[in-house]
Each structure stands twice: as C-alpha cells, then as structure tokens.
Chain A
C-alpha cells in the first residue's frame, strides 16, 4: 500500500547561496540526510531521515542550513490529529509497539510553571548572597531517633552514612549502554568536581570509572546487570530501581546492537544480545521482599552505605512511599511521569504515571502525617528543568533533586527524542565509536559544572530574596509558594495557597 507513515516530519532547508559544499553536514549526519551530488554539483538532502537533532545546523560554517517543520499537513481534525493518524499507519504496517525516547512531549500541565515564589519586603530583610554566607549543603540519609550521650554527657549520635551534597542536585540514573562512555565520564568528572553524585543507572560501572566511586550512586535494577561485590563496594550509595517515571510498570530494553565489547563486559552479558530487564524485580513481589533486598545490600556492604529506593510516581504514590520509608531505605527517590528515558513504549510514556509536583507534595504530606518525614530523605526527578523548579521542589518538601535531561542538554543534546535509534549525532545516546568521540568528556564536564554552578547562584539569589540563608530552612517551607491558575483541589494536594491569599 502506498501509505508512507514515516513521511517528512522535518524539512531540511539549505540556502544554496551560502552553501560552499564543504560537506561538513554530510560527515556529521549519522542518519545520512546530506550528500554531495556530483550530478548537480551541490549538496542535496533526504529530509525523510532527518530527526531534527540540529547537529548539521550547529556545525555548518556558513549557516546555510535550517530545519523546519514540514508544512505539509493532513486535513485538520482536533480528534484524529496527524500524530494519531500516523501512529495507526505505523502500527498497521509494522505490527509493533510504538517506541519513543526522552520525556513525554504531550501537553500535560507543568505545575512548576503554575507556582510562584515569595520574597521579603519591609517586615523581614532579604539577604544578599554576594555579601552574606548562603548555604546550599544538604545531607541525605536516615536520621537518628534518640539522643545518645557518652559518660561525659557528650552527644555521640551521628547521621549514619550520610551523602553530603554541596548543592541539592544529583545527576540521575542513565546507564552505560543507553548513553556513551564519554557521556558517563563527563558526568563522573563533573560530580566529583562539584561535590555531588551521579548515578550509574542499571548498566553497571565501567572499570575506568571506579576511581569516581565516592561520587557515584550504583544502581541495582531488575536485570541486575553488572551487579557484583566490587560494584556495590565502589559506590557511595546503592539505589534499588523499582520504577522509572517515563515507563512505570515495565523494565528496560537495550537492543543488541548497542552491546559492544565494553558494554558487554560492564553489563556482564554476551556481546550483541538484547539486555532486557524484567518489569518487576523477580525477588520483590511485595513490600516485605523489598525490605529483604535492602538489607541484603546493606549486609553485602557492611552497613556502610545508604540505600536509595527509586520509584515511579503512580497514583498511590503516598502509600507506597510510606511503605518504603518503613522498609529500611535511607532515601526515597521519586521519578515523575515527565521524566526522560532512552527508550520507552510511546503509549506508556505518554499515559502512565502522575506529575512529580503532585507526587512530591502528597508524599511529603503523608510522611509528615505519619510523623516519619525526618527519618528519611526525599529526592525527586522527572523534569526538573532549572533552578526555579529546584527551589519549588525543595519548598514543596524535597531534600534534593535528580536531573538527567538537563544534564544531557548541557552535553549537547537537542531533545530530538531519537535515542532509541542509537545514532546520536552528539555522541551521547550512542555506542558508535565515531559518534562517541564527538563528545569530549573534559569539555562536557566543564559544561555540566557551569550549569550546576549557575543554578547554585540562582538558588542562592532566590533564597536570599526570601530572607533564607540555608537551604534547610527552605525545605518543606510551602508558605513561600503560591499557586497561579490552579483549582482548589490542585492547591489542596500541593498544600499551597493561591496567589493573592
């Protein structure tokens, strides 16, 4: 049938007057969009393969290129949108599950953008972070319940195995395999220099990165790829991945073509085989099983490391988090449904789960109602895009945030959402050696450091404006927030008042 479901979404527009036929675009495009035509004596493009990653546009020395949305359109239909129609064509042709990458692009409410931050006026002075100390250090982990003293009356308690962060931001889990060696190295270098943490994701830890262990969170996911004693010992904390915001309820799938020698060795699976992590952990069918895994991991590491349990934000998140808090975990990480992924079934990514803002607010409230909020730390991710989102997350009740998409953007990602194709022109979501080497880890880490440093400055400015000089006094300080354009129910769940109240 002549139905072309993958027709030109984007169109490459080349200004022939500017083009000097240098063929940079041709060399840069792993999707083979550009080529030199000897017949016409100029560059030609096949827009069909373009994913709009902007690599050619960025590198074109004469700025001769732009990528635009193809104005060709189906007949307008508010119900059967063009995307909906094309999905049917695709599946009718392939019989397959639709795949997507990165966080959902659908038009769901972004609650961060409907929350406003307070500032001091008259009754309370704002504080100038350039002149006064401004503290962003946080400690994550389980807090002692009882005051314990030695025979001389000195306090002997300590927060056990705390993770100290110079700023309440961590790079969240992205596995080696889903992203490149150089991307991992950029994250590791940056985490170390910033005094924060990055996360291995479920793909194990490459032997070259063991020296960064003090700034590494090692993940244990349902596939248990690359998990062994040395791996657990290498990290500063262990994260059990129960779920991921972009795809709650299912596991991961790294196609065999991405499993080369190094990935194979790190994941401890044969080269070229698909790495499929199961939907559940097959040793965790309920909360009491989770407790056993937490304590197995603690036993294995002599109780020297905090255990994080990462869960996807789903409908009953408050009750689940409360269960996790009582199961021996030191830190709960919640991943919202707008969070990124290297590959997920489109329907799941776009329809399953709930926004992180609501999940965070209801979990924080529930843990406080039960009087256990101070026993455990709360880290949230799933589309934290800038310093204002972070300030809002902390004021809603988070101890720290996880950032992944933002970190990838700093490394050059243009959110073309084609990670699952494995041909990332920016050297991030690919294992093709020629593409990987495009990302220089030194430069990459500098850009990450710049980003987090800039955010830190902005957080300090906003805190200072509120008259707060320690991030601890912002945590859960919901009076510093007001909603704008929200319903009573939304305000009730977020636990904030409306602007003007």
Chain B
C-alpha cells in the first residue's frame, strides 16, 4: 500500500475522492433498500401473521371422510339378504408408473384384462390427482391376487386396493324383491347431500335399497389429516376423529323360503309372482322373471356382459312384479261381483242363462264365452253368482258389467283394493296401472265412455291394467273379507327411520256393515269352489280343481284369469314366426289365498304368454302356498 500513496497525482486523488463518495452513495442506497425489505418482512411476519397463520393451517389440514357401513337387510326370519363385503381390486397409481403401455403388457400377461381398458384408464386419469389410485379390475380372484403378488417387484405403480361393495345373498333370485344399489352417477350429485356421501360409491337404485336409502346409508364420519401440497396424507390427527354412524339394518317381511319357492315355481318362464301376508300386508315374496344377478353388475368391470343384460329382449332389469301391467282378466270377477252386490244391483240368487253369447240391447256386437269351440258357443247354462265364479262365466259378468256405473266401480276398486294407485308403502318405483273412468277416457282418447267398455270390464278386459303387486293386494283384501291393509316391505328396523312418517294402520280399521260382511264371506266361498269343487262331472267342477285341487292338504280360495294380449308387436323388434306365436299367446293369471279361514298368504301369479290361467298359473300359486304353509307348520312343530 505504501508505495502508491506518495505517487498520487491530483487526478488520481480526485478520482479516489469521487470513488469514495460514490461508494458511500451506493452503500446508503443499499441500506435504504435493506430498510424497505425489512419493513416488508415486518409487515408480513408481524402485522399480518395471524391471517397467514390461518392460511397455512387451511393449507395443510384436510378433513377426510369415512364412509359409513351400509345397513344390512334381513328376511322375516333374520336370514341375511344383503350385506357388505370387501373386495380386492387392482388399481394403478399414475404418478408411480414410468410407462403405462409396458405395465399394461405385463399385467395382461398375468391376469385377464378386457380390451379397451388401457384406453379407458387413460381417459380416467384426466382431472384426477396423480397419487389417486384408479381401479382397473374389480374383485380379483385368489389366483389373480397370487399372480400379482408374486410379480409385484416388476409391477411398479400397480396396487391392490380394498373396496366395500354390496353382497346379495341370493343374487338374481331376490333382486326384484329387495332392489339393488348402483354406483353413484353424476346425475345423483345434485340430489344427495354431497358431504354425507363423501367416500361412498353406491346409492340405492331400486326397491327397498332405494326407498330406505337415507336410513340404510348412515352418516359419514370424518378425521382431520395433515396433507402435503399434492393432497397426500402425511399423518393422522386421532383427536379429531368423528366415527361414521352405520346405516339402519332392515328386517323385511320377505320370507326366503317363500321367495325361493316362487322363484323356482316360475322357473324360466317370463312373469311375476307376488305373495302378501294378509294379516300385516307384509310382502312375503316378489319375483319377476327374467332376472339378473346384481352382484355381477356391482363387481364386474366387464361392461360387455352388463350391456347384454340391459339390452336383452325380455328386459331382465324391468321389475314386472311392480311395474309390469296386465289386464286382470277373470281374476277381476270376484271384485265385479262384490261391487254389484254392494250396490244391490244383484244378489246371490239371481240366475242368468249363459248360452255363450252376450249382446247389448240395440247393438250387434257379440261378446263370447271363454269355453266356446268351433262347434259350440260354449256357455255354462243357468248360472248364479257362486257358479259364475267357480265356472268363470263370462256372460254372467258381461251382464253385471253392463249394469255398472264405471266411475262408481273405479272408486270401489281404488278405495277398497288399491287399484289405479300406488298402494304399496315402500316401493318407490311401483306402478299405478290403469283404472279407467269417464274422465280418464275423455282425456286419454277424447272419447265418451261406451256401454261396451263396461261390458268387457266385467271380465277384466279393456282399458283396465294392473300390476302383479296390485293383483296380490286385491287377493289380500279378498282374503281379509274386505279389510284393507297396506302392502309393505319393511317389518322392522333397529333404528328410527326417517322414511316412516306414520305407523301402519292395523288391518281393517274401517268396519264392514254386517250385510256386506256376508257377501265377502260368500265370495271367498265361491273362490274356494274354484279350487276345491271337483268330481262333479263335465263343466261342473271349479276351473282350477283339476290342476291344483285334487290332492290339496289345506283349504284355499282362488280365481284364475286369462288376459288377452292385444298386440304382440313390441317396439322396434322383428319377431320370427315362432316367437310371434309365443308372444301372442294369452297371459295366464291366478290369484289365491290360503288357508280359507284366517288366511296366511295371498298371492298373485302372472305368467306372460302362458295361456290358460288355471292350467298355467294356478300350479305356481299352489307351489308357493305349499312352501309358506309347510314352513309355517314346521315352525309350529318346533314351538
């Protein structure tokens, strides 16, 4: 340093001074900037600390939902019909996969993967967090699990995850009785409480599962979890745990033995069977065929099979028991008779000569008997009400029908038998059928009610349409000798249910006048003759006796029906001749109750395109009633 001091020129000295000044300027500027920055830090860290503290907490603490276990469903004897099970599914975690095509190749060498799954996967990963597993295949078999476990080391990004899904003990045999859940769809999101459904994948789709959805679902639980920036949980905070509340368990009136018997009785035929306990209105069995396996629908990722179910010509998804509508045919005759009796339009003594034909005065239209042949007009000779029922005389009931006021009759059917309305308490999708009135015909066809409409209504044909459940309800009221009881699925629950607004009314809250009670009893007697009156010679036996009445160990009352199929051509379908022949055959119907005194079961059977009701439908009713009464006697013995 010393060598340069002495030799400094004036210029150098002024340069040095100027440099020193300017360095000072820069240092002071730097200091001022430092103050600005420190001021900013004071503002952020001291004055706004609390606001940022809150934001920081919001950042890292996330409330996670714990889905509640869905309530179980039991049959009347406590047998489990629907529970939940854990399935193992193969899922992929996008962020852990290097090359998804290579991984797919490896996976499809180990387990069966449907083609197109890769594309579907690539579409599903959009708009989802990359650490979120995406299900590739549901419900792995043991051997598939083993294959995956053994090769785990080279399947980076493939994980096996647990999922809780519904399990239906009897699968397709009970699906139309208890309904089923389905995956929550986008459309559902507006209708449900989204918070309560966080973490839940299924929602009631049909039947009891749908009607009691709120109670079956339960209440969602939650826990606070610290998460990182990508939403991945880091550690749990156990003190902030709110356990979920499991859904209500339901015990139904459904009796597995009766249901299985009904399922077996119907076999492969298309149709429906509904059985009701007349004392409570409880639905004991409800079968609709063809049917489908809900378990396969829920666990299957093979959408092709599911599509086949949906597209099937005979509509297995469609619940004929509550939504199928059929002309009641002759099964309506006891009700027509009771209507005429209650209106005092006839009595049990009036005799009509049935020669097979009926014509309205001043009309040329001829209404015919069911037992006409190519050589004879048929007919049952002299018939009173009792004989008209067990022989199922058409002419007798054409006659009664022609005398009736349709609006009064419709009121009687709706009020006393639940026709034309959704009488069942807890089946959401139950249909109302069609109960024609003058006004209905005016608005529907813009036509007046013709006398001829009433004539054919007398034998259950024409505009009237009922569901099998309504037929069973009708049988229930007949079994109860007129006492109304509302059909229902639910027997009891372990929780208070929001869906139950009022407790069910006890049977027959409204008393019959004594005179009317006699009519009900005699009608029941006439119906028992349908089954039991036999060995009386040609055209003298009950219509169903030959088919079910010969060796019957108990008393039973019934009424057959054969519903004419108006048009067989179904929407947009080409039927070959053989099919057309089948689909144009009449529907076979039968309603019944047993035992005659204090009935325990009322039943309706519909066999689509089955033909004659007594021949085709009555044996099915008998089989189901056998199962019910035998299981009851077994219980009685055990007691």
A binds B: no
